[in-house]
Amino acid sequence: MSRPTTDPGSGSATRAGRVGPILTVTVNPALDLSTSTEQVVSGHKLRCGPSRLDPGGGGVNVARVVRRLGGSALALHTAGGAAGEAYRRLLEAERVPTVVVPIRGETRENVTVDETSTGRQFRFVLQGPELATEEWQSCLEAVTETVPAGGFVVASGSLPPGVPEDFYARIARTAREHGARCVVDASGPALAAALAEGVFLVKPSRRELEAHVGATLDSEARQVEAAAALVADGSAEHVALTLGEAGAVLASRSGVERLAVPPVRVVSTVGAGDSFLGAFVLRLSQGRSPAAALRAAVAAGSATAMTPATELCHRADVERLEHELLETAGR
């Protein structure tokens, strides 16, 4: 099978370690198609408004947010078929440097439809093509070749069929062996396996942490307790538990902080979690404290909630909200 290819994006370098200290891994990327229609009903043709295409998927979105906020991250992703080609071109247009692992299957497409008469949003998320053993192994080899020593490896998003549940756990081990910090945003068995291996940072949403611990986290005390427990048992050095409109909790060995969201007009929360993570890791990579990273992360998540459909945050909004959160904290 063919070897992974690098696309340096803005042309700064061809290898991860030299591009920047952040590598993101997306084994199940998706071409995100978003559009709108007046009302979603069965049995009729639903005439849609203008559509847009975005190169989505957890890790790639993290890299796109890092770039939007003025940083640089190398995005390692699989790509296959015509959708995979379109995906590559979209990332190239955004000047995100990439390492592409070719696959035989077709890169999946997700569809988001905004219902204009009600403001409801419908999201159809496809499972993705099955990966052959040598394809996911090529991804792991590409991670080993590009892991930035002293930097961050962000493993984010769902695993497509064929990929073993310990895929992120293996990445966590590789990162540690190369002196990099592993960041994981996953759910279910992939999350559990990564935590059993031990990671630097994990970013579950409330729903994901509830599924992991098998309990409802409906009070602040329960949320803090569940996040702190993962730090105490060595699963993660930092746990950023995101709570949607209720903000986020950050648990580390030095304690727990909670941050509420700044007041924003919410339009679409697609990509909010990825934006949270992108800003968090970028600020850490810039040498900022976990508390400062948390402010930037909540600001970026909420800034993405302000933008329509799959659109990610804008830098000016993030910096304004980050400043607002700092002012509020100082009071």
Ligand X SMILES: Nc1ncnc2c1ncn2[C@@H]1O[C@H](COP(=O)(O)OP(=O)(O)OP(=O)(O)O)[C@@H](O)[C@H]1O
137: part of which helix (H) or strand (E)? helix 133-146
User: Tokens 């630097």 — which residue?
Assistant: 200
Q: How many CA atoms lie within 13 A of 178 on its CB side?
A: 22
Instruction: Report the candidate in 66, 55, 167, 130 with the shortest Cα–Cα distance to residue 100.
Output: 55
- Taking contact as CB under 5 A, which single stretch among the options 4-12, 69-77, 123-131, 267-275 is the one that binds Mg ion? 267-275
Binding-site size for ligand X (CB under 6 A) equals: 20
Q: Which does 101 bind (CB under 5 to 8 A by kind): Mg ion, ligand X, none?
A: none
Q: Which of 114, 166, 274, 317 is catalytic?
A: 274
Contact flag: residue 58 with ligand X (CB under 6 A)? no
Contact 314, 303 (CB under 8 A): yes
Site for ligand X in 226-265 (CB under 6 A): 242-245, 247-248, 261, 264
Q: Which of 247, 271, 273, 278 binds Mg ion (CB under 5 A)?
A: 273
- Residue 310 beta carbon to ligand X: minimum distance, rounded to whole angstroms: 12
Q: Does 310 bind ligand X (CB under 6 A)?
A: no
CA-to-CA dists, residue 193 to 151, 157, 219, angstroms:
22, 14, 26
Q: Is 278 in the site for Mg ion (CB under 5 A)?
A: no
C-alpha–C-alpha distance, residues 283 and 255, integer Å: 19
DSSP state string for 151-181: SEEEEESPPPTTS-TTHHHHHHHHHHHTT-E
The SS3 assignment for 201 reads strand
202: contact with ligand X by CB under 6 A:
no
Strands (E), the chain: 5-7, 22-26, 30-37, 52-56, 74-79, 98-102, 108-115, 121-124, 152-156, 181-185, 199-202, 236-242, 248-252, 255-259
Of 153, 276, 295, 313, the one binding ligand X by CB under 6 A: 276
- In the complex, least distance from residue 13 CB atom to ligand X, rounded to whole angstroms: 30
Question: Is residue 274 annotated as part of the catalytic site, yes or no?
Answer: yes
Q: Which is nearer to Mg ion, 59 or 273 (CB)?
A: 273
Nearer to ligand X, 158 or 235 (CB): 158
Binding residues for Mg ion, per CB under 5 A? 205, 273
Active centre residues (catalytic): 274
- Report the interface residues with ligand X, using CB under 6 A: 205, 207-208, 242-245, 247-248, 261, 264, 266, 269, 272-273, 276, 298, 301-302, 305
